[in-house]
Amino acid sequence: MNNPHNEQDLKFNREEYNKEYKLPHVVISDVWYFDDNDKCCPAKLELFGYGYEIDTYKNGEPYQRHQAIQRTRPFKLSYWILESDGLNVTLDGHCGKLRLSMANFKILKAYFDEKNAVYIQEEEACKDEILSILPKLYEDSELVQMASNFIEEVPTVFYIDPKFIISTECLISSTVGSRKIGDSLFLSDEFKRSSVSKIELDKVDIPGGEKEVLVTVHVKNAEIIKSYLDNSFFLLVILIKDRLNLTDNDQAIYLTYVFLCKVVIRHFSQKWAREYNKYFGNIDDLSLSEAVQQYFLIETIDPNNLQTAGTFIYYLIDHGKFGSDNYLLCLNIFVQQLNPLLEKQKIESFARKIQKSSVNRAYTINDIDLMSGKEFEQFIAVLFSKMGYETEVTKSSGDQGIDVIASKGGDKIGIQAKCYSETVGNSAIQETVAGRNYYHLDKAIVVTNAGFTNSAKELAEANSVVLWNRTILKDKITELW
């Protein structure tokens, strides 16, 4: 079998390699090895000391032997997960690029962890130190308020959308280089981060004949996330670092991120409570499933909307309903609770649809499409009346952006009705916000038989305006008629 290293490398490494080769081996069979041309071959991996040997096979016969040993000690055995499907893992790092089963990956990771014990201890010590500093930040009421103001100014996707959260953690991790002292404090694990990122490894020569691995992380929406990090997050890091007189920049980065994750919980919990707390009575008396059921029954929201659901999840986290404050884990649990309710609603809606033909139904979505603007306003008033609200259609001129006012249980909701053939834009949101303030209303909704532009959706999220698109309106019609 051939050795891929040149004579100079072999002479340099041979004595050390032979010494470590005598150490106990960890053998991992049934792996796949990618050569320099990214060609994949079945292989066997043997680990010993800080060296390794890979035997590849072709047509069941030994084909090539790859031997390597790190030249300097001590060092950290590293790998980067490129992709994983839950059963197999593709990684690159100390032993080259490999694809192996999850079971074999655990063997490899256990071996690396054993060799990296000193580094793991350092990381755990740094993690403990970060957690010990956190209370100082909570005790600083001014800093907590500043963090809450910071969160209010940042697009909510950075705290609500799991893809943005995980991608942000990928890029934060990449800024600290090899000193990933606080990665275990992230909301995501290495598998979640690998699912949203693409990693490129480039080996470059450094003084002393060594090679250094440069890692480049690519994520979707990278420009938006980098802008947030550079223009917002890292400025907050500097502020907190100076306020606490910290000397370790990496420590300050992780500390700031964990602090924000904690403040976010209370921030969004209070936001939800201001609008919807009365639907839950004493939330502490409800189980998780009971709280989700009550959430599902709120008539004016779209329970499947991520912005709405995310805010509610933080409310539940703040009240200890999950037994965890990890938003990503809680989101998965919430979805498992919500999906059966959505599925039941879907089946019931379908049953109503086929039990009563559209010929006998008072309204269909096609009827709505033919209405004038005034007819649509009257229809929305009737729709909310059937939902148990007292309704009032405002005067045609000078309505201040609100077409219908619906009242129930002390709540006054302002509704703008848009019967459009095209998507509804920003102006409708702006008018509704102005109307909500003018009439001193508790909530605002824009209802349309069409859809909304992305810009309108973003503006609505920023101003707590509920949007009912064609799908929601159609479901309401099927439910009520």
CA 146 centroid distance within chain: 23
- Spatial distance between the Cα atoms of 225 and 215, rounded to a whole number of angstroms: 18
Band (329; pLDDT cuts 50, 70, 90): very high
Of the candidates 234, 94, 70, the residue with the CA atom closest to the CA atom of residue 178: 94
Q: Do both 189 and 135 map to the same domain?
A: yes
Contacts of 244 (CB under 8 A, 6+ apart): 133, 136, 137, 252
Q: Which residue, among 76, 73, 67, has the nearest Cα to 17 in the 3D structure?
A: 67
Stronger pLDDT, 477 or 252, i.e. the higher one = 252
Looking at residue 409, its pLDDT comes to: 84
Question: What's 400's domain CATH number?
Answer: 3.40.1350.10
104: left (phi over 0), alpha (psi -120 to 50) or beta: alpha
Pair (129, 274) in one structural domain? yes
Domain that holds residue 373: 365-480
Q: How many domains does the chain have?
A: 3
Q: Which single residue is written with the structure tokens 């605002």? A: 444
pTM here? 0.83
Kind of pairing, strands 61-69 and 51-58? antiparallel
Where does the pLDDT of residue 366 fall: very low under 50, low under 70, confident under 90, or very high at 90 and above? confident
State whether 111 and 127 are in the same domain. Answer: no
User: Looking at the predicted structure, is the pLDDT value of residue 72 above 60?
Assistant: no
Residue 207: pLDDT band with limits 50, 70, 90: low
- Compute the distance between CA of residue 476 and CA of residue 170 in angstroms, rounded to an integer: 41
Question: What's the confidence (pLDDT) of residue 136?
Answer: 92
Does the structure show a pLDDT above 70 at 93?
A: yes
Say if residue 370 is in the same domain as residue 289.
no
Chosen domain end from 54, 86, 115: 115
What's the mean pLDDT in 39-51? 92
Are residue 351 and residue 394 in the same domain, yes or no?
no
Nearest by Cα to 188 from 84, 343, 62: 84
Asked whether residue 250 is assigned to any structural domain, the reply reads: yes
Out of 326, 355, 384, a domain closes at 355
Answer yes or no: do 157 and 302 share one domain: yes
Q: Are residues 166 and 267 in the same domain?
A: yes
Q: What is the pLDDT of residue 4?
A: 41
Asked whether residue 205 falls in the same domain as residue 250, the answer is yes
Tokens of 443: 């909530």
Region 107-122: mean pLDDT is 92
315 near 265, Cβ under 8 Å? no
Q: How far is CA 478 from the centre of its chain?
A: 34
Domain match, 191 and 136 both: yes
Q: Examine the fold and report which residue of 355, 384, 399 is the final residue of a domain before the chain moves on.
A: 355
How far is it, in rounded angstroms, from Cα 32 to Cα 270?
Answer: 51
For residue 181, give the 3-state DSSP assignment: coil
Asked if residue 350 is part of any domain, the answer here is yes
pLDDT value of residue 65: 86
Residue 19's φ and ψ, nearest 5 degrees, are -65, -45
Is a pLDDT exceeding 80 seen at residue 303?
yes
Say if 1 falls within a structural domain.
no
**Pairwise CA distance, residues 358 & 478, whole Å:** 10
Q: Which uninterrupted H or E stretch holds 89?
A: strand 88-93
List strands edge to edge, sheet with 97-101. 61-69, 51-58, 40-48, 26-34, 97-101, 88-93, 79-84
The per-residue pLDDT for 350 is 81
Average pLDDT over residues 155-177: 93
Q: Where residue 34 sits, what CATH number does that domain have? A: 2.30.29
- Of 48-52, 57-61, 205-209, 433-437, the poorest mean pLDDT is in 205-209
| pLDDT tier for residue 1 given thresholds of 50, 70 and 90 | very low
Output DSSP code: residue 452. Answer: B
Lowest mean pLDDT among 153-167, 217-231, 327-341, 464-478: 464-478
| Residue 28 identity (one-letter amino acid) | I
**Whether 469 contacts 476, CB under 8 Å:** no
- Cβ pair 64, 56 in contact under 8 A: yes
Quick check: 251 pLDDT over 90? yes
Domain-located, residue 360: no
C-alpha radius of gyration, the chain, whole number: 29
Tell whether the model's pLDDT for residue 466 goes beyond 90: yes
* Mean pLDDT score, 206-230: 82
In sequence order, which residues have a C-beta less than 8 Å from that of residue 6 and are 6 or more positions away? none
pLDDT, position 361:
58
pLDDT of residue 2: 40
Q: Across the strands, what pairs with 416?
A: 446
Domain co-membership, 139 together with 272: yes
2 occurs within a structural domain: no
The whole-angstrom separation of Cα 209 and Cα 472 is 65
pLDDT > 90? residue 50? no
Q: What is the pLDDT of residues 126-153, one digit of tens each?
A: 999 999 999 999 999 999 999 999 999 9
3-class state of residue 292 by DSSP? helix
Is residue 163 included in any domain, yes or no?
yes
CA terminus-to-terminus distance, the chain: 77
Does residue 234 lie in a domain region? yes
Q: What is the pLDDT of residue 10?
A: 37
Of the listed ranges 120-129, 175-184, 325-334, the one predicted with least confidence: 175-184
- What is the per-residue pLDDT for 464? 87
3-state DSSP assignment of residue 44: strand
Distances (CA, A) of 412 to 243, 437, 477: 44, 12, 22
Same domain, 170 and 255: yes
24-33, 86-95, 291-300, 396-405: the lowest-pLDDT one:
396-405
14 pLDDT above the threshold of 80: no
Identify whether 85 is part of a domain: yes
Of the ranges 2-16, 43-57, 200-214, which one carries the lowest mean pLDDT score?
2-16
Q: Are residues 350 and 383 both part of a single domain?
A: no
